Amino acid sequence: MDFLSNMGLGFDVALSTSALLYCFLGVTLGTFIGVLPGIGPLATIGLLLPITFHLPAIEGIIMLAGIYYGAMYGGSTVAILLNLPGTAASVVVALDGHPMAKQGRAAPALVITTLASFAGACVAIVILSAFAPPLAAFALRFGSAEYFTLMVMGLVAAAILVQGPLLKGLGMVVLGLLIGTVGQDAVSGLPRFTFGTLELYDGISFVVVVIGLFGLAEVMHNLSLGDKRESFVSRVPWRALIPSRKDIKDSTLPTLRGTGLGAALGVLPGAGPAIASFAAYAVEKRIARDPSRFGKGAIEGVAAPEGANNAAAQTSFIPTLTLGVPGDATMALMLGAMMIHGLVPGPQIVQNNPEFFWGLIASFWIGNLLLLILNLPLVGLWIRLLAIPYRWMFPAILVFIAIGVYSLHQEAFDIFLVVGFGLAGYLFIKLRCEAAPLLLGLILGPLMEDNLRRALLLSRGDPLVFLERPISLTFILLTLGLLALVLLPGIRRRIAAVT
């Protein structure tokens, strides 16, 4: 009864006219921000944060939260249609979503992502509302050693995702780690791999790399095809927007598995929706009867990551609200907004500010329902983008790329970097090297370095700390198990060939 009474209190707050208005404004803005590559929820929340100073705390935070999880919905749209991920978490959706668009199945892909997003968010909200305190207590058991080994396991899983030899995947991971080291060292302050270029002292932005490797490289690839470039769609009847029974059947269990995995990883500070997406994709590919379908338009490769990233976006509020520990930069802004309004996130927030806590959770239900109502009718509109002749479309894509990248730091140098990564991405396409493991290496590289240093500092330089802690040891064993699953069949074939 306590749960029902708490949710009743929350809906009393969230269903007020002003809260509904700001919730709708947040999710709508978040959807369109997700569609526009290069901007993202972090920049948008940073720009709109001063506006919330003049709003009541609950309404301001509801709007900012709507922008955050609304961007998870919108980010998959251009990832599927144009292979141009709007957010970091939507990178994985592009791996199979864009091939589906090329096969004329963009409509089912977009509908399935919307339904998977809604399902993932709903399950995660139940977890958030029912199990926030105990899940936060479990997250406290993670120290630097656990985070480091978790990230190593994530990188190995990303390398296994690739089509073709494992060595290619590992090579792309290492390249991503190297790119992540560019800039000033966090401890010594010394520049690394900047080659005397001041613009590189702050490192290379993830957005720059994503837009170059995916967006610009895709434009180059399509232009190189000339008249051979296929037309994805000419006219889309409304009945084509409805997924087939097979699509729904094939995507249901992957959505549930991705949701569970994303909800669990979202609780961990530093994991976030991007890592949840990669992990969900890795699981689906590993358990699939025919892994070769992945990367060629498998509906499971769209549903599982989309359910995972939206579930992680919701449960990432658990450490932020109950521990005061933000999981990523966006959550750090949310934490700052709460503190500006006099709210102190931590174990006592449920008791001290029940209207705020339960009102925010109730707004998640309302916001995700609004997103479902908003996104499903827009699918037909987005599909019509593919009917535009490419000779008209690619200049518009280049304009959006230039505006999005320049808006990051107002530096022309970032545009030159995008061109460089675009050329590299085009080369990767020709060499059949997938860019997704590189991106995960770039995301996790700085976090891995920080946690490795911190773990060794706390253990006085003893590397056995990674084996002495049970959770860390579990992640190491799982990593070795993943490598064994991939390498053992090849070793057996070589032994059989010799004998």
Q: Give 216's DSSP letter.
A: I
Q: What is the pLDDT of residue 380?
A: 64
Q: What is the pLDDT of residue 234?
A: 46
Q: What is the pLDDT of residue 79?
A: 77
pTM assigned to the model: 0.67
Q: What is the pLDDT of residue 122?
A: 82
Inter-residue contact 58 to 95 (CB < 8 Å):
no
Give the position of tokens 């004329």: 104
33 to each of 46, 84, 389, 393, 396, how far by Cα in Å? 13, 13, 24, 19, 17
Look at residues 59, 184, 69, 48 and name the one whose alpha carbon lies nearest to residue 120. Answer: 69
Low-confidence ranges of the chain (pLDDT < 50): 1, 230-234
pLDDT in tens, 284-328: 887 888 877 888 888 888 888 888 888 887 787 777 777 666 656
For residue 480 the two structure tokens come to 């070795």
Amino acid code (one letter) for 324: G
Q: How many C-beta atoms lie closer than 10 Å to residue 95's C-beta?
A: 28
Cα first-last separation, the chain:
68
